[in-house]
């Protein structure tokens, strides 16, 4: 099969609503059969792709995030963020963004951020005078911070594909994650200055400010604990995930006393389903990626190195453009598994810092979660707020543009990304 036929089959299966893992694996197996490969290679590649120590961290962080989310922590974070921003015009919108920054240290995924915070903000902000579309747009845009500020599930997947340090990748995401938050805040500021936004706050739970502050600090200590503990050599990033699970369980069950036995069991079931789906996608993508590599289908793309030899910055903008287009059809995880192995050798040949390339790649891919037709966060928010997708996307456009500008700044000034990870030995 030609590369065009392979990709046509894959996108055909996706458009036919086949699961992503099935689309990847079936396309790879079909291409291998037409190329007369020994079919025993398919199950071999399928299972060997999961034999990766880095991937073992994913279920731990997913489970820790589920425990924290079900332990009533979300409401406390939202109320604390709202009290901290209530004096500002558009305070609830700023609280939405600040809560996403806090929540990013718990969930590690944008979808969990949108679902957890959206239930309160998308339904609560309109009661204070915000439009439902704007409320949902702020929620979705700020949820893009989730996969960037550590811990991050998509970073774990990228680290397993690119064979780079998970902890350095975690550290590299701190400044870009905060920059995304500032980009969202800039849009809120402009809207407030031009159209006017109400003051006020959302109170998701009634507790004294002191208690809210303590709970928020306890929660926010998790990502700090992971980063500091790993950098000190006390444990690996994978071991930190297991410790985070124990920490989340003790915090929710015995200290805050907000996590029941039923909550723990439900969190475990959800984590198993999420991890299983993730691993199936990883394995399916490994089959297709192997076939594409062996058949030489990716060689023509790698010949692009010569075109960007004099200006690596142009290459990064090219990658951002490609991932933006691919994001209309592929979710971020699939982009990492299929496209990172193609572009990463070019980036290395051009002398681009691995952490710089990784963050630009991950940020560009993550924005696909807020663009139709496969923007999962877009659909989650639309369902919560009962909003039409076209009205949602119009409201999100200013935030999308602001976040593209943020990525452009990271491309132009790589030190914003590389400064912190370069301090890590």
pLDDT at 187 over 80: yes
- pLDDT-based confidence at 104, cuts 50/70/90? confident
Average pLDDT over the chain, rounded to an integer: 85
Tokens standing for residue 212: 């809210």
In degrees, rounded to 5, the angle at the alpha carbon of residue 153 between the alpha carbons of residues 11 and 180 is 90
């990658």: which residue's tokens?
Answer: 319
What would the mean pLDDT of 375-402 be, rounded to a whole number?
89
Q: How far apart are CA 142 and CA 99, in angstroms?
A: 9
pLDDT at 237 over 90: no
Q: Which pLDDT tens digit goes with each residue over 117-158?
A: 888 888 888 888 888 999 999 999 999 998 898 888 899 899
pLDDT over 90, % of the chain: 22
Write the CA distances from 151 to 101, 110, 221, 349, integer angstroms: 12, 12, 12, 29
- pLDDT-based confidence at 179, cuts 50/70/90? very high
Top-ranked range on mean pLDDT: pick from 288-297, 305-314, 393-402:
393-402
pLDDT at 373 over 90: no
Q: How far apart are CA 198 and CA 203, in angstroms?
A: 15
pLDDT at 34 over 80: yes
Residues 6+ apart with CB under 8 A from 255: 218
pLDDT at 267 over 80: yes
Q: Which pLDDT tens digit goes with each residue over 200-232?
A: 767 656 777 777 777 777 777 777 777 788 877
Cis before 151? omega within 30: yes
* Predicted local confidence at residue 253, as pLDDT: 83
pLDDT at 299 over 80: no
* Predicted local confidence at residue 45, as pLDDT: 83
pTM greater than 0.85 (yes/no): yes
Q: Distance from first CA to last CA of the chain, Å, rounded?
A: 45
Write the CA distances from 281 to 242, 277, 338, 343, integer angstroms: 23, 6, 11, 20
Q: How far apart are CA 398 and CA 414, in angstroms?
A: 24
204 closest CA partner among 68, 75, 71: 75
Top-ranked range on mean pLDDT: pick from 38-42, 367-371, 413-417:
413-417
| Positive or negative: CA dihedral 120, 80, 256, 59 | positive
pLDDT at 405 over 90: yes
């Amino acid at each position: 099969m030609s590369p065009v036929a392979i990709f046509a089959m894959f996108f055909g299966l996706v458009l036919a609503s086949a699961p992503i893992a099935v689309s990847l694996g079936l396309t790879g197996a079909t291409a291998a059969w037409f190329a007369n490969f020994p079919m025993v290679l398919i199950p071999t590649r399928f299972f060997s792709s999961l034999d990766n120590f880095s991937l073992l961290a994913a279920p731990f962080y997913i489970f820790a995030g589920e425990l924290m989310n079900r332990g009533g922590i979300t409401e406390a974070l939202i109320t604390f963020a709202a009290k901290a921003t209530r004096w500002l015009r558009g305070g609830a919108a700023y609280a939405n963004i600040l809560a996403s920054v806090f929540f990013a240290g718990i969930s590690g995924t944008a979808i969990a951020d949108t679902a957890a915070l959206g239930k309160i903000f998308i339904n609560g902000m309109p009661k204070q005078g915000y439009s439902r579309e704007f409320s949902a747009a702020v929620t979705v845009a700020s949820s893009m911070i989730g996969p960037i500020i550590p811990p991050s599930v998509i970073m774990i997947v990228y680290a397993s594909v690119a064979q780079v340090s998970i902890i350095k990748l975690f550290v590299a995401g701190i400044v870009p994650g905060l920059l995304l938050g500032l980009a969202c805040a800039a849009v809120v500021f402009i809207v407030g200055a031009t159209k006017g936004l109400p003051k006020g706050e959302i109170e998701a739970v009634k507790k004294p400010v002191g208690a809210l502050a303590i709970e928020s600090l306890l929660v926010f200590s998790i990502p700090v604990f992971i980063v500091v503990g790993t950098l000190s050599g006390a444990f690996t990033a994978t071991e930190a995930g297991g410790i985070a699970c124990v920490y989340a369980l003790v915090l929710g069950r015995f200290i805050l006393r907000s996590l029941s036995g039923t909550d723990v069991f439900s969190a475990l079931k959800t984590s198993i389903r999420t991890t299983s789906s993730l691993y199936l996608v990883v394995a399916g993508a490994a089959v297709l990626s192997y076939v594409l590599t062996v058949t030489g289908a990716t060689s023509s793309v790698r010949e692009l190195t010569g075109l960007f030899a004099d200006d690596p910055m142009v290459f990064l903008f090219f990658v951002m453009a490609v991932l933006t287009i691919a994001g209309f059809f592929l979710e971020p995880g699939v982009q990492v598994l299929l496209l990172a192995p193609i572009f990463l050798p070019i980036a290395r040949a051009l002398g681009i810092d691995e952490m710089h390339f990784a963050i630009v790649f991950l940020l560009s891919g993550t924005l696909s979660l807020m663009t139709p037709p496969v923007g999962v966060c877009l659909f989650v928010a639309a369902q919560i707020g009962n909003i039409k997708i076209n009205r949602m996307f119009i409201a999100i456009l200013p935030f999308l543009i602001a976040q593209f500008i943020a990525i452009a700044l990271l491309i132009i000034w790589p030190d914003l990304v590389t400064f912190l990870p370069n301090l890590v030995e």
